[in-house]
Structure 1
Amino acid sequence: MTSASLHQVTTPTPAPRPRPDADVRLPTWAREASDGVDLVALADRVVEADLAAAFDTLRDNDEFVSRLRASVVENLRHLRQVIAGRIHLTEVTLAEPFALARLQARLRLPQTALQRSYRVGFLTMWHEWSDRLVERADRNDVPRAESLEALRGMTALLLGYQHQVASQVADSFARADEALSRSREHVRNGLVQHLLREDSTPLPPSDLVLLDYPLDASHITVLLAAMPEGAARQILNALREACHTRDTLVHPVDLTNTVVWLAHPRPPGWRAARIANLTDCLRGLGVEASVSDPHVGVQGVRAGWLQVRDVQRVRAAWGAAGSPRVLGHPDVSLEILLMADSVKARAFVHAELGQLGADDDLAARLRETVEASQRWGSHVTTAAHLHLHEHTVRNRLQKAAELLGRPLTERRTELQVALRLARLLTENNSRADSPILPPPVSPGTPG
């Protein structure tokens, strides 16, 4: 009996839902076929199927993907034991699927995504186990009736396992979701998500009390990249002390990035010295941070969030090697403005720099020398800044003018702008056009 004919007979009509305590025992050859499944390779396929079907936006979240894989691996190991008849379905004890369910609840993922992942994941498992069973039946020349009965039995065991585990996981998800919904921090996160929406409405007084942050103040927004919420809270005291403020609001953007708002009453709001103290503190802590301009009021909370996202986008395009650890919006406001249309920005750089804008090491060194010369003025100061000999600086500037096709003193403003943009728009750095951070997860109504 061929593999194609057996699947043609059995797959069009779904099997009825089996009782979880169904007493099914497969023949020896079928149990041996089950043991032959490569669980490592199958786990890879199930994880990919789950991500594609239900969690595509979480592919880059290492914690989530690790939890998902652990859940899949544990399910596969127990399912093989059940199919092979070594344990009964009622003897299965799981841990990882429930840990994943709690994480999904914390991320505010809908339960429909959880259900979809289980349907897709177990369908992938069924295909693998049924293929192995069919192959073994063909190789052993098992009669067609016995093959079909074994396939039905294997399907009943798998669906019984799916029904029992999915039901328990759904209950765990619901309990975790309910507990989080009652959690003060979780409610505060929901309120922040509401404030960051373009169409957000004013919060009622009861929610303002729960938020415990002066929305009418002057705000500075700090995006702490690659820093989970727990780590961000550990440095709050240092930030408060540096800025002489007690009012802060912490919000996890996702599993690995956190945004912090710091408030000062107005007037006087944020003076230059306080902002300098904040950035010095962040540098001293050695963190990677994007810092906004001061903004006032409820709209200022969202304006600061949008600014730090723009700063982070420039940082990523700039590259880890060239980007300062602490980067403020004023430092890159020109780049943000001009990169709003990357196509026009690239056209501007090409028109202004010509061959000096080439994506190679020589042109990059020449651009660095020209930019330093424009900033520092004299050849001597430029050479000292770049740790070069003065004659090397002169030679580089001469070569740069040749590639540019005009003296470096002409169109100085356009040249300076083009040099700043060239750092972000090289062909080797395609991240300039990509969003760096997702919007807050599942924004919804407060409470």
Structure 2
Amino acid sequence: MGRHDVLGELYTILLARVETLADRLVAAIHEQEGGYRTTGSVPVADLRRSCHDNILTVVQQLAGAVPAGVDPLDAPRATGRRRAEQRLPLDTVLHSFRIGGRLIWDELADEARRAGPEATDAVLDRATSVWEVVDRVSSEVAGAYRTTEQEMARADAARTRAVLESLLSGRGWEPGMAAEAGRTLGLPTNGGFGVVVAAAPDSGGALLPGLEAVLGSRGMLSAWHRWPDQLVGVVSLAGQGIDVLADVLRQFSDERLGVSAAVDALADVQQGHLQAGTALATLPLGCTGTALLEDALPAALVVAQPDLGQRLVRVVLGEVLALPEAERDLMLETIRAWLAADGSPSATAAMLYCHRNTVLNRLRRVESLIGRAAETTATRVELSLALTALDVLPWERPGRSTNGHAPSSATRSSAAR
């Protein structure tokens, strides 16, 4: 009997044992691959069916006995799709196929030994072909799995976007909306949330995966979506303060980020989104960092009414801004230092490395320009708000554009909060 005939008889024996082999493979997978036991995502009947169908197609391919009109790779593709839908890790799936490959090989080798030396030699000669079929089947499983995973990711992203859009548009208070949003986003419906807005959605592609993991390690579950103009995240605070979220963001990223005040429930996300956008706008032009609304309320008032903010700049600082550049920057630097020193000329002089009398002379010059006494509480408030508006709103010097940046931006410390 030729080797081809010997192999044919062995394959016929294996085809007759597919049912038994499927039962053995189910037991072997449960014993050797913990993923099937621990996740519970694959019903035993489903696993048994895939074991049967994939053993059958492997042996049919080895025997050259694939029925007419049947694609021998349909079974592994179907398995790959189902396991992706069941969210079983791909490594776990491929391990189960390696277990199946060994089972088929061991059964074939054992049967050959029982048949005699000629059958053993024939099987050994065909060993490479056996594993080529197993590898081809495994490759189809992986391909179908990854394709399905990508389709699911796109569908998940679309659902996330739709739910976040509903929350951001104020629909969170509609009956059942918050509960549905929580299920879709994997978030609780209550317990405190922060909303984060990033100004650079393109860089969010690199920012997001690591950030989600860092937040998750702090117990802060989050859901994110990139729109063309911004990246938006809703973060469950898990009983922690909004300042904790801001600190995590500062440690993790130097992007331009705005963080809302804490809101109580998913239904309040619209309010949080508006606040986060306002917080983001308080970052001085050209600066990066994380702005927490509660740390930037004066600036938030300014950016919430930009027309009034720009009007405030013109009324309070208009004459200062009209000075030649060097003198203008000197006056602005002095005002900033004086306010930071709580109105103390001596402390201001120490900050500016100049004499106290120099500070007093500059302040008198400022008073002559703004038309009011600098020492009054009202003037200090006006100067502080006007400087804030100058930092965070587009500004144009009369007669000369500054390309949207406030003067002396290089002399200011970063306002990243």
Q: What is the TM-score with the length of structure 2 in the denominator?
A: 0.50
CA distance in 2, matches of 1:408, 1:207: 53
Of 290, 294, 312 in structure 1, the residue corresponding to residue 262 of structure 2 is 294
Quickly say closer, same or farther: Cα 1:305–1:380, change in 2 above 3 A: same
Distance 1:329 1:310 in 2: 7
**Greater CA radius of gyration, 1 or 2?**
2
Residues 396 and 207 of structure 1, relative CA distance in 2, 3 Å threshold = closer
Q: Distance in 2 between matches of 1:401 and 1:296?
A: 46
**How far does residue 399 in structure 1 lie from its aligned partner after superposition?**
2.1
How has the CA–CA distance of structure 1 residues 185 and 353 changed in structure 2, closer, same or farther, with 3 Å as cutoff?
Answer: closer
- Give distance in 2, aligned partners of 1:359 and 1:229: 44
Distance 1:275 1:425, change over 3 A: same
Answer yes or no: is the 8 Å Cα contact 1:295–1:301 preserved in 2: yes
Percent identity, aligned pairs only? 20
Match of 2:331 among 363, 366, 390: 366
Superposed displacement of residue 389, structure 1: 5.7
Is contact 2:178–2:266 with CA below 8 Å preserved after alignment?
A: no
Give the C-alpha shift of residue 373 in structure 1. 0.7
Please, which runs of 5 or more residues in structure 2 have no aligned partner? 1-146, 406-417
Paired residues of 2:215 and 2:248 also in contact (CA < 8 A): yes
1:191 aligns with 2:163: yes
1:37-56 CA-to-partner distances (Å, cap 9, x unmatched) read xxxxxxxxxxxxxxxxxxxx
Task: Give the 3-state SS of the residue equivalent to 1:217 in structure 2.
Answer: strand
Alpha-carbon spacing, 1:376–1:275, altered in 2? closer, same or farther (3 Å): farther
| Aligned counterparts of 1:391 and 1:213: Cα–Cα separation in 2 | 60
**Match in the other structure for 2:387:** 419
> What's the secondary structure of 2:275's corresponding residue?
helix
Q: Specify the alignment match of 1:263 in structure 2.
A: 236
1:224-256 deviation line (CA, Å, top 9, x unaligned): 332223431223233444xx32411122123x7
C-alpha contact (below 8 Å) 1:359/1:426 kept by paired residues: no
Deviation of 1:341 (Å): 3.6
Aligned position for 1:327: 291
Task: Quote the Cα distance in structure 2 between the aligned partners of 1:355 and 1:236.
Answer: 48
Judge conservation of contact 2:223–2:233 (CA < 8 Å) in 1: yes
Deviation at 1:383, TM superposition (A): 3.8
Cα distance, 1:335 vs. partner?
2.8
Counterpart residue number, 2:224 = 250
SS in structure 1 at match of 2:177: coil
- Partner Cα distance (2:179, 2:171) in 1: 19
Distance 1:184 1:324, change over 3 A: closer
State the aligned residue count.
245
Does structure 2 conserve the Cα–Cα contact (< 8 Å) formed by 1:220 and 1:261? yes
Q: Which structure is richer in relative contact order (CA contacts within 8 A, separation 6 or more)?
A: 1
Conservation of the 8 A alpha-carbon contact between 1:229 and 1:250: no
| Pairwise CA RMSD | 3.4
| 1:407 and 2:343 correspond | no
Give distance in 2, aligned partners of 1:366 and 1:237. Answer: 47
| Contact 2:281/2:303 (8 A) holds in 1 | no
Candidates 330, 341, 345, aligned match of 1:379: 345
331 and 425 in structure 1: CA distance in 2 versus 1, 3 angstrom threshold: farther
Q: Tell me, in whole angstroms, the C-alpha distance in 2 between the residues paired with 1:319 and 1:360.
A: 22
Match of 2:188 in 1: 214
CA contact (8 A) 2:282 2:291 kept: no
**Aligned partners of 1:304 and 1:343: how far apart in 2?**
23
Query: Contact 2:258 / 2:278 at 8 angstroms: preserved in 1?
Result: no
Separation in 2 of the partners of 1:385 and 1:237? 42
Name the amino acid aligned to 1:298.
L
Gaps of at least 5 residues in structure 1 are 1-174, 433-447
Question: Is contact 1:218-1:263 (8 Å) kept?
Answer: yes
Task: Say whether the 8 Å CA contact 2:278–2:300 is kept in structure 1.
Answer: yes
Rounded to whole Å, the distance in 2 between the matches of 1:339 and 1:287 is: 20
Q: CA separation in 2, counterparts of 1:310 and 1:218? A: 19
Match of 1:213, SS state, is coil
TM-score, length basis structure 1: 0.47
341 and 207 in structure 1: CA distance in 2 versus 1, 3 angstrom threshold:
closer
